[in-house]
Structure 1
Amino acid sequence: MVSAALVRRAAAFSASAAVLATLSAGLVAGPASAATGKAPKVTASTPAAAPADFEGSCPATVNFSSTIKVPVKGKTVLAYRWLHGDGSKSKVQTVKLTGKGVKSVKVKQAITFKDDVKGWEAIQVLAPVKFTSKKGSFSVDCKTPVKPRTHLDVNVKARAWATPSSYTGYCTPSTKIGFVGLIQTNRPALVRYRWLLNGHVADYGTVKVRDSRKVGFAFTPRHSERGWAQLQVLGSNGTYSNRAGYKVSCKSYEAPSTDVDASISVTSGSDCTVRSTGSARTSGPGRVGYTWYVNGTQVSSGQTYAPRGRSTVSIPGFSTKVTGNAVKGGVVTLSVTTAHGSDTASERYAPCGVTTQSEVPDTSKTIGSHVIG
C-alpha cells in the first residue's frame, strides 16, 4: 500500500496514473522481484561528507552527497530518503525522470551539528525499486575557540625546587622531602594550582597572587628513590613549572646491641640454706628474662627490664634449703636472656654437713624458699 504522504508528493508533480502505479509497485517491491530481473537495476553511491572529519567551533554544517543511477525507459519516478546514524529518517523526496537509458541523479543534504558526534549517512531508494547504499561515516569535534590574548590578560609564570633535593639517612615518619614553588603574575590574580609528584596529583590549592607568591608541599619517603615534582597553574592562563628532581637514599635501621653479661654471688649456711643474688650488665634497653637453677633443677624465674644505654640490672635472687646429696655441695646457675643475646653464670656452693638417719629435713617453705634434695 502506498502511503498518503507519498501519494500527495506524486500528485504535486502531476504524475500520470501510469507513473503513480509504477511508483507504488516500486515501494512494495521486495528482493524476490529484484531477483527475477523484471525490475530495473538501481544503484546509489556511498554518501560523501564534506568535511568528513570536522574539528573547530560549533555549530558546524556538514554537507552530504550521493549519486543515484536509475535505468529509465519513458517516464519514471525516483523516490528516496536519507537514513541517519541515530536511527531516524528524512522525508521521502521524489524526482521525475524521462527518456531512455541510465540516468544519474545527484542528491544532497546539509545537517548542522551543535555538539560532538560520530555517525553515518546512507541513501535508501524506494522507487522504482528498493536499494540501500553503504554507510558513509563522518565526525564532528567541537572545540572552544581560542580568544586572542590582550594586555589585560593575566600572564603567569611558575618555577619549583626541592628542599632538600638529596637526602641520605634513616627514613622515618619525620623524614620529609619538601618542594617550594614560586608563582609570578603581571597583575593581581586569584590563581588555582596543583602539585604533581611523579605525574600524580599530590596537593592543590588557590591563592591570591600580587606580583609573586610561594606555595609548597612535602611528602615522607618510605624507601630509596628518585623522582620529580612539578607545579601546575590551572585555568585559561595555565602553565607548568620546571620539574624539580629529588633523590632519597634510605639507610637500613640496625637495632642497638643488647649484649648481656650475667654474674652471681652464692652463699650457704650451716643450716644448709643456699642463697644467691645476681646481676646482668646490658648495653641497651629491653626485657631481661632470668631463670635460677640448683644442680640443674629450676628453682626460680621471672623478668625485669633494662634502661637505655649501658647499665647493670639487679636480678632477684632466691633462698632454698638443700638436703640429701645436695648437702655435699653443688652448683647454682643463672641464665639470662634478652631479645638480642643471652648469657649464663655458675658458681659452686660449699658443703653444709652430713645428713644422718635421725635427722628429719625441715620441709616447711616460705615465700621465695625451696627445699632441694
Structure 2
Amino acid sequence: MKSVVLARKAAAFGASTAVLAAMVTGLMATSAQAATTTSAAKATPATAAKAKTRVSVSTPKASSGDYQGSCPVDVKLSSTIKVKLSGKTELAYRWLHGDGSKGKVKVVKLKGHGTKSIKVSETLSFKDDVKGWEAIQVLGPRKVTSKKGYFSVSCVDIGNSHNDKDVSISARAWADPDSYVGPCTPGDKIDFVGLIKTDQPTWVRYRWVLNGDVVDYGRVKVWNTRKVAFGLSPRHSQRGSAVLEILGPDRTVSNRAYYKVWCKSEAPSDRVSVSNLVTGTNNDGCKVGAHATLSSTGPARVRWVWSVNGDSVLRGESVFRDRGSETIDLPDRVLTGDATKGGKVTLTVFGPNNSDSITQSYAACEAPKPNVTVSSVAVAGQRNDMCADKRGPGVDFKATISSSAPTTVKYYWVVNGKREMPDLERQVNGSVDVTWGIGGTHGASETTGSVQLVVFSPDNVSSGATTFAVTCPPKA
C-alpha cells in the first residue's frame, strides 16, 4: 500500500517510469538497510567511537538547474561527501527526494588517515514539467543531512525547431560608466549593460547577479542580438562586479563588469581634465593619429586610455608632481574595414578623484594624390619638306609624363616662351609619351628656339626649357 502512495507522489513530482520504479525499490530497501544498520550499531561497540568521525556533505548541484526545452530530459545531481579518517570505517548514505521518498542506502568502505572526498551522483529522467529538490543523508559513520539542491524542468514542444542542444548563446557585459565619484543621491549612477547574441531567433531567460546577489531578471525574444540593462543607485562607497547569467534555453555566463563608487558630498579639490583633442587622417597607408592636453589641478597619478571607434588601442600613465599640463599622443594607427570611412577617437583619463574624457571625429581615408612627373623634352624628328618653301625644317618634339596612380593629366606646350593652344589632357597610368610639332621659320634655312611641357593638373610641374636648332639639308 505504501509503495502505491509513493508512486502517486512521484508521478505528481514529474518523474519518469524508470525513476518511479527506482524510488519504490529504494523505499523497500530502506527499511531493510536501516534495520541492518541498527543491528550493526548494537552489535559493534566501535560504532560509538566512529560516531564522532567528522563528516560533511555539500549541497547537491544539478547539471541543469533550470532547464527549458524538449523532453524527456535527464537531470544529473552530484554532491561531495568528506570524511575525516583515522583507520577503517564504512560510509552509508542515501538520496532524499523532493516528494518525500528516500533512495536505496549505499555503503562505501573507507580506510586510511586524513580527509577523504567521495563524489556521489544520481540521474533522474523527466518527461513533464517539474520543480523539486534532492538532498544527501549520511547515515554512518555519523548522521548528517545536506542542504537541498533545487532544480526545475520546463518542457517545451518545439517540434522541428531548435532545442537546448542546438541553440548557441553568448553574453557580454559592461558598466557605463565603470566608476562614479560624487554625491550618492537617489538615482542610477552606474548602468550595467549586457549584449545577448544568438545564432537563431529564440526566447532567452536571464538574470543579473551583482556581487553574488540576484538583482534583476527577465525574459526577452532575441532575433540576433539584444541589449538588456539595469541601473545601480548606490547609498555608500563600494566596488565590485556584475555578471549576466543566461538561464535558458542554453546556459552561459558573461564576463565580469567591474565598477567602483566613491560617495562624496562635495567634488574633490584636485581634479584631472582633458582638452584640445586634435585628430588627423594620414591617407598614406590610411592611418589615424591624435593628440590632446591632459591637465591636473594638483599632484596626481593619472591613467589614460585612447580608443578608436569604441575599441581601446593604447593605455598609459602620467604622473604630476604639482598642478600642470602635458600633451598625450596617439601615434598613427592603421585603419581597416568600416573604420577607413571615418569615425571617432576618444581619450579617457582616470585621476585619483575623478575621470574625464573627450571625443573627436576623424575624416575618412582618401586615395593618395597621384605624383606626376615630366621628363625633359627631346627633338623627335624634323620635316624637311618645308625647306622647299624657303622655310626652315619643321620640328617634332617628344616628352614622357609619369604618374604614381591612375589620373587625368592636363598640360600645354610652350614654344619660344609662348603658350601653345589648345590645352591638352591624357589618361595616365604609369608613363605615357606625348608629342608636339611646329612649322619651319620663314625665310631661313634653320629653325631654332626653345620648348617645354607644362602640367597644370593634378600637379604643377614642368619639363624645363630645352633649346633646339634644326637645319635644312644641303641642296643636291
Q: Which has the higher contact order (CA 8 A, sep 6+)?
A: 1
Answer with 1 or 2: which has the greater Rg.
1
Judge same fold: TM > 0.5, yes or no: no
Normalising by the residue count of structure 1, what TM-score does the alignment of the two structures yield? Answer: 0.32
